Amino acid sequence: MKNNYKISDFLPYLVFGIALVIILIILNPLIGFISILGFAYIFYITYNKINNKNVETIKHIENLNEQFDSLTKEAIFDMPFPLVITDEKAKILWYNTPFINLFKEKTLIDGDLENLVKDIDISNIINRSGANTLPIEINKRFFNVYTNICENKSKSADSKSVLLYFVDNTAYKNLKDKYTEEYPIIAKVEVDNFSEAISSAPSEIRPLLIADIDSTISQYFEEYDALVKKADEDLYLVVMNYKSLNSLKEKRFDILDDLRDLNKGNSIPITLSIGVSSFGLNFKEAYMEADSSLDLALGRGGDQAVVKVDDNYAFFGGKSKAVEKRNKVKARVIGEALKQLIDRSENVYIMGHQNPDMDAIGAAIGCLRATLNRNKEGYIVLEKSNPSIDNLIDRMKEEEPELYKKVISRETAMNTIKHSSLIILVDNHKPSFTEYPDLLKETSQIVVIDHHRRGKEFVENPVLSYVEPYASSTCELITEMLTYMSEDLNLTHFEADALMSGIVVDTKNFSFQTGVRTFEAASVLKRAGANMLKVKALFQDDLDTMLYRADVIHNTKIIHDNIAVSRFEKEAKNSVLVAAQAADALLDINGIDASFVLTINNGKTHISGRSRGEVVSVQLILEKIGGGGHLNMAGAQIDTQDLDKAEKILIEAIEEYLEENRSEE
């Protein structure tokens, strides 16, 4: 709609009127003269009407603008939510009553908004580098803050003002928190060593011990408003809400300590494994995830809780050594299953971890013997030897040339493997740590045999998994399985020595992580022809290695009075071996409970960790930086060649571990 009219807007009518007057003058001059006067009068009246209407329209618009300004001011002053205006330096220029009611101050003019509300950054808002909507908490009330920037232009200078609207979001936030806190979580709780612990108690006490286990578990979770259902004699199903789970995480699942301290005459401590689902799953998905978490807890040796958090896991406990299982049923079942898998496969490829040690290569030789016993083609994938196994590989070349031909490179393995081939991973369960990770993509038939505590990374959907942290070594597991896979082991003296060397290196001459079955496996190998003198010869070092090791020990520094940290900075092909041996040697220092040695190899920093397993868990420490292993022997790799940076990362992990321990005490 037009606000102003002009005489030109009526031009067609004027032209028509003038033409009509001219025609009348031609036809009748008298009538034409009269029409001229009438036309002039009409033109005059119309012109005045247009001017008067325009004046009225302008006055109406001006009045409307005044009313709108008044309404706008009243609306702003009467806004039901807090408003504040600041300049570019966060100086408060104006605010309304709801805003000052948020604070105890009587006046806020000329105050600093950023000091008043810590989460607001005015320069960030003006530069548009911050979010348009800011979540703010003030005195336990939650607001969404919307911003509006105004340009103030004057003759002297240009400036900007910022108007902030505080929209109360407390009700929504409380509702969301309530929904989150009440979301159902499922946990599975298993007594690791139920049969062993009950059997270790006097017969008349056993019913009381079982009752105490039941009541301790039930009462503990019921304190967190959880529902506990006993599913088996050693298995419990727990349904709780997310708030209860967070409380349990804050207490770091102290029920693990409560059960371990339970004593009713049982000589074996009672330990639990707990698997917990993550947030946001339905009941079926949560149950399956809790089951997977429990498997991970058991695979890591038990006595711990594993909680799925998004795409990762959080671990609690895991400070005690894995309890040796004396039941050999599982070894027999796994041995039978592996025999069937070998029989069905076209050929078998065996891989250890990168920079394999005696346990990895010894276990690989044992698996190769199991494969050859089934009349199948088998190969050990090994790109190159290293100082840890040089003596063994040299002896293989000399004594077992036909066996040595079965050791192939990565390229050969990739060119010959088929979809129907079987891959056996030994002494490692992490795909990224294998000798050749890309080989795992070539077949879906993968077997995992390992004695390390299971970490976050694991082979996806293996056809067979045998991860037993209680075992001294992978060679112990392989030796045990071989006895069930065929009546005649067919082990050569060299193969028996190789398997024995794996047990010797991981048990440090049968002094660490040994159990009854460790010595049983050693006796099997001894009967097969293992010669301990020849085994010992495999570990002989040259003079340079001994000097390097002494240099590492000499440069050791002690932190927290009981942890030794050192580094091997020289470039040497056996740097990883030197680091591992030096870490072992540092434990011989009086008062040292754990040791860590850093070195560089293949462009990465390698860390060897050792402990007595009683006070400090090197596994839990090195897991924080992507490593793993056992309580008393673990390792890690950091993708850097800067030893100072790597040592800083290691010490931060140690500090975090010690802080967690202090918070649990």
Q: Answer yes or no: are the C-beta atoms of 252 and 660 closer than 8 Å.
A: yes
Per-residue burial over 380-409, b if 16 or more Cβ lie within 10 Å, else e, is bbbeebbbbbebbbebbeeebeebeebbbe
450 is in an annotated binding site: no
3-class DSSP string for 582-605: HHHHHCCCCCCCEEEEEEEECCEE
Considering Cα of 324, then 361, then 351, then 572, what sign does the dihedral take?
Answer: positive
For residue 665, what are its two tokens? 């005490």
Instruction: At 153, give phi and psi (nearest 5°).
Output: -105, 130
310 is in an annotated binding site: no
Residues 6+ apart with CB under 8 A from 205: 264, 265, 266
554 is in an annotated binding site: no
Closest alpha carbon to 304 in 229, 252, 268: 252
Phi-psi region of 401 (alpha: psi -120 to 50; beta: other; left: phi over 0): alpha
For residue 237, what are its two tokens? 């199903």
Place of tokens 């806190």: 181
Q: Provide the 10 A C-beta neighbour count for residue 312.
A: 9
DSSP letter assigned to residue 254: T
192 is in an annotated binding site: no
Closest alpha carbon to 120 in 109, 133, 102, 111: 133
- Bridge partners of 307, per DSSP, are 276, 314
| CA quadruple 409, 414, 420, 423: dihedral, nearest 10 | 50
506 is in an annotated binding site: yes
CA distance 13 to 19: 10
In this structure, the strands spanning 133-138 and 141-153 are: antiparallel
CA distance 573 to 112: 62
359 is in an annotated binding site: yes
Closest alpha carbon to 181 in 279, 288, 311, 310: 279
For residue 227, what are its two tokens? 């529902």
CA distance 413 to 429: 19
Place of tokens 């003058």: 25
Per-residue burial over 165-189, b if 16 or more Cβ lie within 10 Å, else e, is bbebbeeebeeeeeeeeeebbbbbb
Cα angle: 252, vertex 255, 257; to 5 degrees: 90
Closest alpha carbon to 438 in 370, 364, 349: 349
Q: Answer yes or no: are the C-beta atoms of 300 and 317 closer than 8 Å.
A: no
Binding residues for Mn(2+): 353, 357, 359, 427, 451, 506
Binding residues: 353, 357, 359, 427, 451, 506
